[in-house]
Structure 1
Amino acid sequence: MKQLLSLLGFDVEKHSMRTEFVAGLTTFLTMSYILAVHPQMLSDAGMDKGALFSATAISAAVATLVMAFYAKLPFALAPAMGINAFFAYTLVITMGYTWQEALAAVLIEGIVFILLTIFKVREVIVNAIPQNLRYSISVGIGIFIAYIGLKNGEIIVASDSSMTTLGVWSATSVLAALGVLLGAILLSQNVRGALFYTIMIVTAVGVPFGVTHLPDDFAFISSPQSLAPIAFKFDFSRFVALDFNYYVVVFALLFMDLLDTLGTLVGTAASAGLVDSRIGENRSIGRALMADAVGTTFGAMCGTSTVTTFVESTTGVTEGGRTGLTSFWVAVWFILALFFSPLFLCIPGAATTSALVLVGVYMMRAVTKINLKDFTEALPSFVVMVTMPFTASISEGIVLGLISYVVIKACTFRFKEISPIMWVLTVFFVLKYII
């Protein structure tokens, strides 16, 4: 095995094989909740749940292998939390796009991301967005994800006044609430794979209570689910028709992908001392961004939403992972997971509540980095954070946050703090609302 991996281009002498293997397993266990949560969320948009499971595992494996062989960094990729919520609940359910049209937007975004990476335009766009707004976007997405989790677990339900209220305590909501508590306890004790274990435990406990429904022919192992119902099912009609709103959707997907990827890569790499944290000045970061772009494009072909680098990769780095060998093992585990689809597909919404809520808690950490003392920074950040969950739209939060930032800075004569690109984006978004 050591000779084979060496032939494949891995520096097997840099770190021990065992360390990299354990790091890869740790990363997989920590992020494996995506195999349960992602198909559940996108199936709400009318997509085939079994095919989504295969698409999730295959896109994660292929993108992570690109990271392993091309970037040679210990980062894993999979369909992104937050962006999948935008895909299912905003684009399809709220805005009325078909999932085929939304999938075409993901493919276009992936291709654009590849071009931006090749021509090094990504840092120009991202650097134009104020730091506080970047943090607030992370927080807003976290709150939105938690909101979806609470609804899936029936802890909160829709009320007659078009708002939400506390749900009736039932087996589903009680198990969901206990799952959040269990997951929090395991995370506080630094248990690797805490979210995965919590999902599995709640799923098992839910069987006798009728929350988890097992089919009569249930088996732990089966052949992989077919991708046929969702693979290459693109509808480019709105793109060809030059639909302005559709182009805004593509931009929103691209923007979220850029921020997600850059934040995770730079933060994780810098903290581990792997690469220079300055964007655009390190070849490895550029290659990692390309792995992300290729992953999104390939994932769209498989039939899934945007693929991005997972912040859970930090768990593998913490375990000592330092090379692409760590991400190689993560990809291997995702491939093996293809044969356990019955186990993941029977997982109920109550079981995934814990992952959604606790990932939301994790993303809330960024709020401590927001400058709330300066009102011209605090207000736009607040607009982003509250608009996302209240409108069930990540894109609306981003748009209104950017507009409010430019407006309040201009009204207080702080023009120097507004970049030219921010002016262009603001005009673009205001025209969107007018048109």
Structure 2
Amino acid sequence: MLQKLFGFDPKKMNLKTELIAGLTTFLTMSYILAVNPDILGSTGMDKGAVFTATAIASAISTLLLAFMAKLPFAQAPSMGLNAFFAFTLVQGMGYSWQVAMTAMFVEGIIFILITFLNVRELILNSIPMNLRYAISGGIGMFIAFIGLKNAQIIVSDPATFVKFGPFTPVSLLAIIGILLSGILIIRKVKGALFFSIIICTIIGIPMGVTEIPKNFIPVSLPHSMAPTFCQFDFSQIFSLDMAVIIFTLLFMNIFDTVGTLVGLASKTGVMQKDGQIPRVKEAMMSDAIGTTIGSMMGSSTITTYVESASGIAEGGRSGMTSFTTGMLFIVALIFSPIFLLIPSAATSGALVLVGVFMMDSVSKVDMTDMSEALPAFVTMIMMVLTYSIADGMVLGLLTYVLVKVATGKFKDVSITMYVLAVLFILKFIFA
């Protein structure tokens, strides 16, 4: 039965190993249960409701992946897309979180359709490889910058825009968290980011950063999702800005998921000789369904987590690993008081280290060809300086098309890129 449900082959696999692998994956990625409510809560969303939505959406998408794709991977809200939601759509562009969540919902529906129709490769292949690497690196820099800003390590300055902030209990705790996260990862501690967050939360108690409410109880019934459930606002959905936003969400989700699936599949040894991943369509579909259901509950876009590699390293090879991880997300629901106790400063280490992980892609950018290097550089630096993932992507794509056309390299630009360039120019003209 386990083989039929999860692809578990008792002749080649060990049940205990699969269960330990699932636990390892959960510990490695469970920091999202603290970080996602903190990031989405900055938009005015109810943190308790977001925590419940995050745990349930992660559980649903990971369990779907276990049954449908039978691969040892796990899914949860994307660290890049939750930042895009909170800091670009809401704080940067001024949309309400209800409008932003509507965009997430529509993107999820479109993702389901393009996965069903097998056109995701067409969209993905229209974006040059160097820009894909740059987008990943730029998002990493942006996430790290958010962590430093939220912890008051970097503060605003009227003369220089930003500067190194003063030492306060909040910034000191964040610095401890960054160093501790790095040290634990270097020492190969399983669940390094999770344990760093918990340790910093405890350290923050005598520092006055972690505030423990009266009559605190570490376990409780899950928080109601009523404040965020299906709180959609379709009033802005047909604007040009929203079309660009939905495309950006869609591309980021496809790129993030496909890239992670390829990397993880190579680690498990399931990748076929022609580079194809078995049941990849089912893996993408579980992501798309999870994103759609998650947005209905009040969580940002779901993606496959690279942290799944920790479970694979422990020997996880089947859907039994992801099934274990998914069930642990359900168990985590009763520990919401602990996760909601965690201050922003304690999560800064996780944000900065996730940024470091994502910067790995920068080494793959071709810096010997200026027509490739310049658009990549514009993409990365403008994400940080404009405080917008979308603006960084748009400016990078426009730079790519303009530079290639001006230097006579027309064939390097796909038809899709030309169409996007026209849409982006119209967006700036009519914005």
Length-normalised TM-score, structure 2? 0.97
Please, which of 326, 336, 340 is the counterpart of residue 341 of structure 1?
336
Q: Call closer, same or farther: CA 1:83–1:162 in 2, change over 3 Å.
A: farther
Please, which of 232, 249, 258 is the counterpart of residue 262 of structure 1?
258
State the shift of 1:272 in Å: 2.4
Q: Call closer, same or farther: CA 1:278–1:232 in 2, change over 3 Å.
A: farther
Q: Which amino acid aligns with 2:266?
A: A
Q: Which amino acid aligns with 1:256?
A: M
Q: Aligned residue for 1:30? A: 28
Taking only the aligned residue pairs, the percentage that are identical comes to 53
CA contact (8 A) 2:143 2:351 kept: yes
CA contact (8 A) 1:266 1:277 kept: no
CA contact (8 A) 1:45 1:92 kept: yes
**Which segment drifts farther, 47-56 or 281-290?**
281-290
Please, which of 152, 156, 168 is the counterpart of residue 158 of structure 1?
156
Q: Which SS does the other structure have where 2:233 is aligned?
A: coil
Q: Which SS does the other structure have where 2:381 is aligned?
A: helix
Q: Aligned residue for 2:240? A: 244
Q: Which amino acid aligns with 1:72?
A: K
Q: Which runs of 4+ in 1 moved over 3 A?
A: 5-10, 276-279
Q: Call closer, same or farther: CA 1:158–1:79 in 2, change over 3 Å.
A: same
Deviations 1:38-74 (A, max 9, x none): 0000000000000110000000000000000001111
CA distance in 2, matches of 1:274, 1:46: 43
State the shift of 1:275 in Å: 2.3
Q: Aligned residue for 1:367? A: 362
Q: Aligned residue for 1:389? A: 384
> What are the ranges of 5 or more consecutive residues in structure 2 without an aligned counterpart?
none
Q: Which amino acid aligns with 1:342?
A: P
CA distance in 2, matches of 1:277, 1:138: 27
Q: Where does 1:216-295 land on structure 2 (aligned, <5 Å)?
A: 216-239=214-237, 242-276=238-272, 281-295=276-290
**Which segment drifts farther, 155-164 or 368-377?**
155-164
CA contact (8 A) 1:142 1:364 kept: yes
Q: Call closer, same or farther: CA 1:88–1:273 in 2, change over 3 Å.
A: same
Q: Which amino acid aligns with 1:29?
A: L
CA distance in 1, matches of 2:308, 2:392: 27
State the shift of 1:319 in Å: 1.1
CA contact (8 A) 1:269 1:277 kept: no
CA distance in 2, matches of 1:175, 1:157: 16
Please, which of 198, 201, 225 is the counterpart of residue 200 of structure 1?
198
CA contact (8 A) 2:147 2:351 kept: yes
Q: Aligned residue for 2:318? A: 323
State the shift of 1:431 in Å: 1.5
Please, which of 105, 108, 111 is the counterpart of residue 110 of structure 1?
108
CA contact (8 A) 2:265 2:277 kept: no
CA distance in 2, matches of 1:376, 1:277: 33
CA distance in 2, matches of 1:340, 1:305: 21
CA contact (8 A) 2:6 2:320 kept: no
Please, which of 341, 344, 347 is the counterpart of residue 352 of structure 1?
347
CA contact (8 A) 1:275 1:284 kept: no
State the shift of 1:86 in Å: 0.7
Q: Which SS does the other structure have where 1:94 is aligned?
A: coil
Length-normalised TM-score, structure 1? 0.96
Q: Once superposed, what is the RMSD of the aligned Cα atoms?
A: 1.4
CA contact (8 A) 2:50 2:299 kept: yes
CA distance in 2, matches of 1:6, 1:370: 41
Q: Aligned residue for 1:15? A: 13
State the shift of 1:162 in Å: 7.3
**Which segment drifts farther, 6-15 or 173-182?**
6-15
Residues paired across the two proteins, number? 429
Q: Where does 1:32-51 land on structure 2 (aligned, <5 Å)?
A: 32-51=30-49
CA distance in 1, matches of 2:394, 2:316: 38
Q: Aligned residue for 1:82? A: 80
State the shift of 1:427 in Å: 1.3
Q: Call closer, same or farther: CA 1:9–1:255 in 2, change over 3 Å.
A: closer
Q: Which amino acid aligns with 1:329?
A: T
CA distance in 2, matches of 1:139, 1:150: 17
Q: Which SS does the other structure have where 2:207 is aligned?
A: coil
CA contact (8 A) 2:6 2:66 kept: no
Q: Which SS does the other structure have where 2:373 is aligned?
A: helix
CA contact (8 A) 2:230 2:297 kept: yes
**Which segment drifts farther, 48-57 or 242-251?**
242-251
Q: Aligned residue for 1:376? A: 371
Please, which of 404, 410, 413 is the counterpart of residue 418 of structure 1?
413
State the shift of 1:238 in Å: 1.3
Q: Aligned residue for 1:432? A: 427
